[in-house]
Amino acid sequence: MTDLWGKIEPLLARVERPSRYVDHEWNAVANSAADYRVALMYPDTYEVGMANQALQILAERVRALDGCAVERVYVPWPDMASAMRAADVPLFTLESCMPLAECDLIGITLAYELTYTNICEALDLARIPLHAERRRDTDPLVIGGGPCAHNPEPVAPFFDAILIGDGEEALPEIVAAHRAARIGGLNRAELLRSLAGIEGVYVPALYAPDESGALVARGGAPARVRRRILRDLDSMRSPVCPVVPYADVVHDRVTIEVLRGCSRGCRFCQAGMVYRPVRERRADSVVRDALASLACTGYEEVSLTSLSTADHSQLEDILRRLSRRLEGTAVAVSVPSLRVDSFTLAIARLLGEGRKSGLTFAPEAGSQRLRDAINKNITEEELLTTVRSAFEAGWRRVKLYFMIGLPTETDEDVAAIGALVARVHAAARESTPPPERGGIRIGVSVSTFVPKAHTPFQWEGQIPPSEVKRRQHILREAMPHRGVDLSWHDADVSFLEAVLARGDRSVAAAIEAAWGEGAVFDAWTEHFSLARWRVAFERTGLDPEQRASEPFAFDTPLPWAHIDSGISESFLRAESDLARKGVTTPDCTFDACTGCGVCGACDADVVVQAEGGRRG
């Protein structure tokens, strides 16, 4: 393999943040003896990509395979990309500093729609044909996966295969199939057919549209690709020795996944549908892996991550044991956004013992009517009680997430967000001693609803950007100013997210054209330009307004109809009806089965660790 360091180092004096490109971090392992190399790419900068837990998990799985090495790859910032093009240096991996094109398999995580142009940029810098159909037998296998894979069509032409669902078991199977294909002398087409036989693997080349527009399988590929599910999450250790970056990356801490899946059933939430069923890890495993990982990394914080950490049936036990073991070390234990109905005073106290990190709650909507329509299943009183607990336990800031543009939303619902924030602020004041009240901050972050595949709202359209701006104005007017930091997502960004999230295969041409117009790092405010995308849409004949805002009819095939998340369509339709009626659906980990269908379809089960189950 080629070592490119001698060509890269001379470029570093002239680029921003050179530590992104130098490797040699703690726990980074270059394995020169391997005969099979898997490059794992997050299609954004090093600082964003290093935070990705899925890639850390997959790296561990690949490293455990005989003769396999893992290489990390991120997308160079435009200054570095220009320097590389000028110096004729191809995209390189970090561990071995080798050309990406010399790897055997490239796994690209599809975590966010606005990274799609970066995939074009990375493959171009790597000198790998962007279109899977143009790749030769000697080119690496390019595999996608991650949350956005649940609607793979907008990027389908760029991938040889896309994994739907959990990768812990599937990625080693893909590697094994690729190695076997080499030994057996299979050509690329034969290799792709063999990959299509792996549970959860979608090979776009084997699906073509019929006259109705629905994608039809050929070459023995399954008619619908069923999502892959890791049945026993607790059988896998959390990555204990991840690479510790030097650069200031986002989420720079130990992350321990305490559970996967969430069945609270929020009707807008894709993750809440496509990661079912809920699978908790045992408290013993969580504590063991957290302490081992802190020792191996030297991090100053450990985060207990999941879609809904406070729902873990043993969370108090986990926090008690961690806080005892970490006493006096200034190491903080943190949790991502919390459900207000499972956040207890005990949890508040336990989290507050070490260094206090932020507390985040997501009421999502301002009025009870709308919270019921989206099945958020929390009441205002629960939110206020929780805020009081947090401020009594010593917190002085909380962050609240809301969404506008949800189906059935009225102007009154938008204004209700401001009123709710005002009551939260008042509750915070009441629970704070007068001399400390000046320090109270309520962070309010408001995003715009983007309809997502495999959710009860998957048929909905997005409200147009002009309407988003009008509602943002209502929100601003209704929001109290004192002690409140309000931020909202750019309407144009949310619009582009909707075009891409609801896209079919024709959108791929627009992505490629936008990249051709210079679109990269669309997720970065300083690089985002809807104008470039508009040129691309025009050139490729795509109507973005229609794509983003026109509802899908129940009787036409959805762009993701060939992807089977395990959730039955009749459940999603019933949920969509209940939303219109404002009727809520409980969580099956606290109440009875709600009939979403995933356990039967995927031969999986809810796993709750505490003997008495979860307490609602």
Residues that bind other proteins (CB under 8 A): 5, 9-10, 12-13, 17-19, 21-26, 244, 246-248, 294-300, 328-331, 354-356
Amino acid at 575: E
Whether 591 and 615 have beta carbons less than 8 Å apart is answered as no
Do the strands 207-209 and 215-217 form a parallel or antiparallel pair, or are they unpaired? Answer: antiparallel
Amino acid at 518: G
Q: Which two three-digit tokens encode residue 570?
A: 């009749």
How far is the CA of 112 from the CAs of 145, 147, 496, 524, in angstroms?
A: 11, 8, 12, 12
Residue 248 or 526: which CB sits closer to other proteins?
248
Residue 94 or 100: which CB sits closer to other proteins?
94
How far apart are alpha carbons 344 and 316 in whole angstroms? 9
Residue 18 or 78: which CB sits closer to other proteins?
18
Q: Which two three-digit tokens encode residue 371?
A: 């919270």
Nearest-approach distance from CB 431 to other proteins, in angstroms: 17
Residues in the chain: 616
Using DSSP's 3-state secondary structure scheme, residue 348 falls into helix
Nearest-approach distance from CB 55 to other proteins, in angstroms: 20
Amino acid at 585: T
Nearest-approach distance from CB 324 to other proteins, in angstroms: 16
Closest CA to 276 of 616, 595, 614: 595
- Give the CB-side neighbour count of residue 365, counting CA atoms within 13 A: 26
Amino acid at 615: R
Q: Which two three-digit tokens encode residue 246?
A: 């030097």
Residue 9 or 485: which CB sits closer to other proteins?
9
Residue 293 or 375: which CB sits closer to other proteins?
293
Q: Which two three-digit tokens encode residue 318?
A: 């986990």
Whether 38 and 107 have beta carbons less than 8 Å apart is answered as yes
Residue 24 or 469: which CB sits closer to other proteins?
24
Residue 73 or 294: which CB sits closer to other proteins?
294
Nearest-approach distance from CB 5 to other proteins, in angstroms: 8
Residue 356 or 539: which CB sits closer to other proteins?
356
Nearest-approach distance from CB 358 to other proteins, in angstroms: 12
Nearest-approach distance from CB 561 to other proteins, in angstroms: 48
Whether 465 and 545 have beta carbons less than 8 Å apart is answered as no
Nearest-approach distance from CB 432 to other proteins, in angstroms: 14
Q: Which two three-digit tokens encode residue 337?
A: 């956004």
Q: Tell me, rounded to whole angstroms, the distance of Cα 398 from its chain centroid.
A: 23
Residue 170 or 331: which CB sits closer to other proteins?
331
Q: Tell me, rounded to whole angstroms, the distance of Cα 611 from its chain centroid.
A: 31
The alpha carbons of the chain give a radius of gyration, in whole angstroms, of 24
Nearest-approach distance from CB 17 to other proteins, in angstroms: 8
Residue 296 or 561: which CB sits closer to other proteins?
296
Nearest-approach distance from CB 254 to other proteins, in angstroms: 11
Contacts for 593 with CB less than 8 Å, ≥ 6 apart:
599
Nearest-approach distance from CB 252 to other proteins, in angstroms: 8
